[in-house]
Structure 1
């Protein structure tokens, strides 16, 4: 019998219970992390005098061999094993006989799974960070080509004020940089080791949770064994970060979908990151962008699923926590698929700058320049806003643009206007005037671009494997 329990039971579980109870179908991916933690635990048992030198050497050799067989597929878990921990103990006992059973001393599946999942999450969060850094870099490199290229800036999806395309692309980069910051901040809280908490109360054996934590790359052991085996804040918080990444990918995807449409025409997507239609031969569909938008719902759903599972759970371990892993695995798997595709789409898309340049002044987007011109002449903005609005109304009645207002009509609109106001009714001039940090002017965008490039290299260093 391979199960880690059953001494007080007179018979085995019903087939229906066994099928429901088994988690080996999804937690087998934790095997490398369980083996890593097992080696650390074996060394602690040795230091506690519970394994002699020869037993430790044989134990570590068997664990290394088991790791090789797991990676190659020569050793696999089965439904009869119930979970990854049971399967690996079976493999160890097959290699070592009775000695293999000694490794379970001082630990439980409760602190094992809490440790394994933390190790898995911390490892994969850095891979996620590396993929995010690649996307930020792709956005930055595209932005570098359009630092001074005008485009309509929009609110409510209506023309508002002229901006630069570089500014728009770097706005997306800022969201992903915040996601990187969240991952880094999350990792500090996730870097605690539950191993040594046992089932819930610690152990009467002279173990050393500090040494285990250090060997496994954690900053410290958990402060409370009850919390150690039941805490899944780290998983929920990681799913929140994944959800925010999904939201930012969705927003980027939506804009690229709009920009690549015939109505916008700002962007041409590369054939390698587009698909076609089974009936309409002319179609070129932005499927990567649409999947980026669509998968955000799945990522948010995984977060919601885990939060509802955790709600109201009593201390300490409950079988409900079997449901903690699949949402985490699914979110990380989907982002690992999605981010390289989005990065490739961004890297290879061609920006058609003449179309947004021509559209930049439309919709009276320079009206605010009139108001600011009046403010510089000492007119209160409240009054200046009214005058600029009157200019727009004048143009709408006549079907003209702001720069086409006749000189003779300006004074009739307001006594504060004269022909010199037309000097500010120029898109390039309006952009150049915006020099404050974070604004859309070419100089400010160039400064922002330099900061983003510097930042992304720092994040690459953090995301590099330890």
Structure 2
């Protein structure tokens, strides 16, 4: 099979060399974007008088035929044609004859592939934002059902203070909101057209880059042809945003894994998102959460891989940049799958309110309430902290909790204690009273839910 660029070559590469250099095994993912870009390019060629309307019609009809066949999974790609661009051009020529070879007038594969990836990420970024919304909705719905569900809050993975379970879930809602903002903000840099930049220097043909950009729905064009074909910042930004989002999902995955363990038993995952053991019949493993936690490293790797590919490249295009696609495709697949899985996992998760309630009544996470109580009565907080620390030590030595101490013991520790201390020590009251802005108090959590709902609308 003759190469479409082979005019000056007298020798063909061996098959294994072709396979090493080809990208069609993965860049066929861009087939619809490549056709979309070509349709805009040929329309612009006609508007600018570069091609006759007869040629434009023939080429456009041929591209639409290829698009239909692509959507039906009927296209057969060849390694000999290297990449998606040459494969489609060869198919177009087979479909409509030599006139198909006019399509590549006034463009290069360099601006063509860049255009394809801008179109691809534009579509996938919209999809990711929608999937983030779906996971946020799942978190919000679960939070609405658990405003007054109380569980131990942790620092250093040690019991710290009782909090609303809804408040804990909403922390991830706001993390995802920032992720969504980052993807949304990056959209303006994705939605920029490199088409018409040529190989690196523009073209002598009287093209109108703004016209093809308009046809493709781009908001602007690259101002510099060298930058247009060599820029991969928009992919790096997508990979960076994805990495940060996966870090957030991994943290939630880790907590989910802990919560459904025998040691915690705070939640139970639906069977649809769990697996069993081939040897231990009793096991119910949180494999989907573990996979998301594990796949986070994969997404990080794609980011660092592309950063390393680009770090020493001179302008403009270099074959190294063929390595920009597989990590991008893999990241899209990974993050969209992770978001879908997590939305289902949260929606179907059973919350063990009884276990959480027992947990907060069997620890010292209400100790800060005692210190705050004394501070509110005028005792310097540092002194209050010391008093309560001694009371905790007394409880540890006696094998009881703060609420089990007698009034005499409280009075002995400090005369400021009154009978109302037993109300203050109740986990429900401890959570309810934390009504500072953004706190875990029930009124604050309800306000946060209202604000979250308005954002999703």
Say whether the 8 Å CA contact 1:28–1:84 is kept in structure 2. Answer: yes
Aligned to 2:251: 251
Aligned to 1:159: 159
Aligned to 1:297: 297
Structure 2 matches for 1:58-457, cutoff 5 A? Answer: 58-457=58-457
Say whether the 8 Å CA contact 2:191–2:218 is kept in structure 1. Answer: yes
Structure 1, gaps ≥5 residues long: 458-466
Q: CA deviation at 1:106?
A: 1.0
Deviations 1:36-65 (A, max 9, x none): 111111111112211112221112111111
Q: CA deviation at 1:418?
A: 4.1
Which SS does the other structure have where 2:152 is aligned?
Answer: strand
Using the alignment, how far apart are the partners of 1:74 and 1:151 within structure 2? Answer: 55
Deviations 1:40-94 (A, max 9, x none): 1111111221111222111211111111122223322200111000011111111
Using the alignment, how far apart are the partners of 1:137 and 1:124 within structure 2? Answer: 20
Using the alignment, how far apart are the partners of 1:421 and 1:351 within structure 2? Answer: 30
Say whether the 8 Å CA contact 1:152–1:361 is kept in structure 2. Answer: no
Using the alignment, how far apart are the partners of 1:258 and 1:144 within structure 2? Answer: 22
Which SS does the other structure have where 2:252 is aligned?
Answer: helix
Using the alignment, how far apart are the partners of 2:138 and 2:294 within structure 1? Answer: 21
Say whether the 8 Å CA contact 2:143–2:165 is kept in structure 1. Answer: yes
Using the alignment, how far apart are the partners of 1:27 and 1:78 within structure 2? Answer: 12
Using the alignment, how far apart are the partners of 1:75 and 1:19 within structure 2? Answer: 19
Using the alignment, how far apart are the partners of 1:420 and 1:332 within structure 2? Answer: 56
Q: Which moved more, 1:211-220 or 1:391-400?
A: 391-400
Structure 2, gaps ≥5 residues long: none
Aligned to 1:461: none
Q: Which moved more, 1:13-22 or 1:43-52?
A: 13-22
Q: Relative to 1, partners in 2 of residues 1:186 and 1:2: Cα closer, same or farther, differing over 3 Å? A: farther
Deviations 1:121-178 (A, max 9, x none): 1101111222221111111111111101111000111100000111111112222222
Q: Which moved more, 1:417-426 or 1:124-133?
A: 417-426
Say whether the 8 Å CA contact 1:2–1:90 is kept in structure 2. Answer: no
Aligned to 2:14: 14
Q: Relative to 1, partners in 2 of residues 1:265 and 1:416: Cα closer, same or farther, differing over 3 Å? A: same
Aligned to 1:33: 33
Say whether the 8 Å CA contact 1:403–1:422 is kept in structure 2. Answer: yes
Deviations 1:373-423 (A, max 9, x none): 122122222222222222222222222211222222223323443444333
Which SS does the other structure have where 2:408 is aligned?
Answer: helix
Which SS does the other structure have where 1:304 is aligned?
Answer: helix
Using the alignment, how far apart are the partners of 1:174 and 1:250 within structure 2? Answer: 15
Aligned residues: 457
Q: What RMSD in Å do the two structures reach over aligned CA positions?
A: 1.5
Using the alignment, how far apart are the partners of 2:225 and 2:98 within structure 1? Answer: 29
- TM-score normalised by the chain length of structure 2: 0.97
Say whether the 8 Å CA contact 1:266–1:356 is kept in structure 2. Answer: yes
Which SS does the other structure have where 1:255 is aligned?
Answer: helix
Say whether the 8 Å CA contact 2:50–2:205 is kept in structure 1. Answer: no
Q: CA deviation at 1:13?
A: 2.1
Deviations 1:93-140 (A, max 9, x none): 112222111111111000011110111111011112222211111111
Say whether the 8 Å CA contact 1:268–1:349 is kept in structure 2. Answer: yes
Using the alignment, how far apart are the partners of 2:93 and 2:433 within structure 1? Answer: 74
Say whether the 8 Å CA contact 1:70–1:76 is kept in structure 2. Answer: no
Using the alignment, how far apart are the partners of 2:299 and 2:2 within structure 1? Answer: 36
Say whether the 8 Å CA contact 1:210–1:221 is kept in structure 2. Answer: yes
Which SS does the other structure have where 1:7 is aligned?
Answer: helix
Q: Which moved more, 1:285-294 or 1:417-426?
A: 417-426
Using the alignment, how far apart are the partners of 2:53 and 2:423 within structure 1? Answer: 86
Using the alignment, how far apart are the partners of 1:146 and 1:74 within structure 2? Answer: 50
Which SS does the other structure have where 2:97 is aligned?
Answer: helix
